[in-house]
Amino acid sequence: MSRIRIATRGSELALAQARAIAARIEAALDAETELVIVTTAGDRIQDRPLASLGGKGLFVKEIEDALLEGRADLAVHSAKDLPARTPAGLALVAWPAREDPRDALVARARGARLATLPRGARIGTGSVRRAAQLRALRSDLEIVPLRGNVPTRLRKLEEQGLDAVVLACAGLTRLDLADRIDERIATDVLLPAVAQGTLALEARADDPLAARLAALSDARAARSAAAERAFLARLEGDCNVPLAAFAEEEADGALRVRGLVASLDGSVIVRGEARGTEAASTGFAAAERVLATGGAAVLARARQALA
């Protein structure tokens, strides 16, 4: 078989993820691989908050262009970066096993926890979802906008005199930095981003490779991603709007999907929950409950504020 070209961003985390998938492909499909590094809009623009740049797709579009133009055969994405809809001609073909979906507190004073940070503590994050939920939990905190890859954000902990930064547990783990985590924040404290901790493999829909890559998919990861992305699609969400969703499988096999939307300042949070056996319909039902109990108005105000 010809070499499989894997499109990826050039950050340390993206490369670590792509290399891990390349190793699995070489073992499972007996194929050679090659990484194709693509610079995305989100990589190029580092001096502005993500929320001001147009939402989801900032780390995806150029990679998808490489697939559509035949410069790559496969893309490895952090699934939380993906817009709700996939471009015509492409398909999300595999969802490898999910890493820890929780948010991580990394503190300057080792061993600190979110609840024990001093009043007025300065916390760095580039996520409007995290910022809104943190403000709702503790209005005394100073939220400091943060950009850059994982190592850069860890350096800024010292360089900017921050008390803590909030990152994804999954990214730290994949970079062998799990020992930097001071608290794995419970999902009922900070609800994760849609599909956080999950990788998504994308290929051309008509490429025979797409079917072969299904061997790398994990059923539980695929199911949770389908539910959470259905929530995202119903709310027409993007990085501009503080929203979150998390699907977990219960003992009887049913899915419990929790979701929320929040005002940018965290003063209003609307939550919804649904339980069911079919992933997409359960995620959709959770979104409907959010919309019906005030979420539609919160979304409208957040989008107006960012227009």
Q: Which residues are catalytic?
A: 81
User: In Å, what is the CA distance from 235 to each residue of 82, 101, 127, 198, 206?
Assistant: 14, 21, 18, 20, 29
Residue tagged 């998808």 (tokens)? 64
CB under 8 Å, gap of 24 or more: what pairs does 138-145 form? 138/114, 139/266, 141/117, 145/49
CB within 8 Å of 207: residues ≥ 6 apart? 73
Nearest Cα to Cα of residue 192 among 149, 232, 155: 232
CA nearest to 127, candidates 55, 181, 38: 55
Phi, then psi, of 205 in degrees rounded to 5:
-60, -30
Residue 259 pairs in a beta bridge with 245, 272
- Positive/negative CA dihedral, 232, 238, 242, 247: positive
Give the contacts of 254 (CB within 8 A, at least 6 positions apart): 275, 276, 277
Number of other residues whose CB lies within 10 A of the CB of residue 206 = 9
The answer to whether the beta carbons of residues 63 and 7 sit under 8 Å apart is: yes
Is 142 in contact with 163 (CB distance < 8 Å)? no
Buried b (16+ CB within 10 A) or exposed e, 10-41: ebbbbbbbbeebbebbeeebebebebbbbebe
